[in-house]
Amino acid sequence: MSTKTIQNLQINQDRLWDSLMEMAKIGATEKGGCARLALTDLDKQGRDLFVQWCKEAGCTITVDRMGNIFARRPGRNNDLPPVVTGSHLDTQPTGGKFDGVFGVLAGLEVIRTLNDYKFETEAPIEVSVWTNEEGSRFAPAMIASGVFGGVFTEEYGHSRADLDGKTIGEELKRIGYFGDAPVGGRPFKAFFEAHIEQGPILEAEDKIIGVVQGIQGIKWFEVTLTGQDCHAGTTPMNRRKDAMLAAARMVDLVNKIALDHLPGVGTVGLMTVHPNSRNVIPGKVFFTVDLRHPYDEELEKMKAALDAGAAKICGNLDVEYDLQEIWNSPAIHYDPACIDAVRKAADEAGLPNRDIVSGAGHDAGYIARVAPVGMIFVPCAEGISHNEIESALPEDLAAGCNVLMRAMVELAA
């Protein structure tokens, strides 16, 4: 097969866009986004639609015991390991139309295009859907790809519970996606994930393709502060054990830690207050901390600063604290051959591109533990993601999909 033949392949931009918009109807929100949390009935509807489309494209479907879906287009030699692409269909509570979903439906569009051209690859092509990438309903994020990559056990994955106590294992069975296949042990020749950037760099520099080098390190913490709930009107200020005041100072601490370790970032994104009454001093506060940095050694320094700062703040306010690190994802560096395949595909298509490091976690990060991995970024408007107004141009999505197809065919041929 010649390079000229690969370059003749062009995905159908309108079909890709129409598929994205059809999937976006499932869990559509008033502001134009999507709320399709992992393993809800809406997630099931999205999965069912994807499976239907893949079967119509001639794929066989496999579902493993973590609910990961694999849609396979056969190659000339099905004994060869497949070249795989994919992402996730679950969203944030106020998510957009493209985060994760683009990577899944770009993979489907690759298969549809190869069918249109009656193009055979030597190795099979697969598209995957990974369960609970977002980590919004069940923590930690990327749990199913983490089980696949050997980071978590299957039992741990099934036991993760949402705020109502419902577990991943229970919900997989409820929606009919507790599959028979073992999790992991599926050889991949390579894995590619196409994704919107979720940041402002590509748009600001007029680049269409981000050639992703890897993912920055991530640590998640859960913090419980325990003071004493008491009457807001009768308790003097100097006799209070105000858990909310301690929490407020720790939120500020997280922000300061990030600013002291740029380009690191720090976020407090979830908080619950007890008893949550307007005239009662909060006696207990639970919140999360998300710290990230491209270099693991700097991320460890950020963690140490959080530990030391929590001890000082809570000691001064006579509040007890419990700080647990619940997830650690070290910095990931992608496979040089996969990176080169993405860069070559972008250059040959004449698409402006640049190397980039992902600030967000992705399923590809865990797959990189067991297979060669590359990622492709395309711009999103103003870098906004995890938001209902998340937006991307049809032509940029099509460009990313074409790069994905060429990189995959290059390795599958």
Q: What is the pLDDT of residues 181-194, one digit of tens each?
A: 999 999 999 999 99
Q: Does residue 372 have a pLDDT over 90?
A: yes
Q: Are residues 221 and 190 in the same domain?
A: no
Q: Are residues 309 and 336 in the same domain?
A: no
pLDDT of residue 4: 56
Q: Does residue 329 have a pLDDT over 90?
A: no
Map tokens 């690191």 to a residue: 264
The pLDDT confidence band at residue 7, using thresholds 50, 70 and 90, is confident
3-state secondary structure (DSSP) of residue 181: strand
Mean pLDDT of the 326-346 span: 95
For 121, phi and psi rounded to 5 degrees?
-105, 155
Q: Is 205 annotated as a binding residue?
A: no
* Domain count for the chain: 2
Q: Does residue 1 have a pLDDT over 70?
A: no
Contact 214, 253 (CB under 8 A): no
Contact 41, 130 (CB under 8 A): no
Q: Does residue 307 have a pLDDT over 90?
A: yes
Q: Are residues 307 and 236 in the same domain?
A: yes
- Please say which residue of 312, 329, 346 terminates a domain: 329
The pLDDT confidence band at residue 261, using thresholds 50, 70 and 90, is very high
- Please say which residue of 329, 357, 376 terminates a domain: 329
Q: What is the CATH number of the domain that holds 174?
A: 3.40.630.10
pLDDT of residue 131: 98
Q: Does residue 2 have a pLDDT over 70?
A: no
pLDDT of residue 5: 74
Residue-wise pLDDT for 64-96, tens only, equals 999 999 999 999 999 999 999 999 999 999 999
pLDDT of residue 195: 98
Contact 104, 87 (CB under 8 A): yes
Q: Is 134 annotated as a binding residue?
A: yes
Q: Does residue 3 have a pLDDT over 80?
A: no
- Please say which residue of 273, 303, 329 terminates a domain: 329
Q: Please provide the size of the chain in residues.
A: 413
- Cβ-Cβ contacts under 8 Å for 149 (sequence gap 6 or more): 184, 366, 367, 368, 369, 370
Q: Does residue 125 have a pLDDT over 80?
A: yes
Contact 193, 87 (CB under 8 A): yes
Question: pTM for this one?
Answer: 0.83
Q: What share of the chain is helix, strand, coil (3-state, %, to 5)?
A: 40, 25, 40
> Which range marks the domain in which residue 320 is found?
217-329
Residue-wise pLDDT for 185-242, tens only, equals 999 999 999 999 999 999 999 999 999 999 999 999 999 999 999 999 999 999 999 9
Q: Is 88 annotated as a binding residue?
A: yes
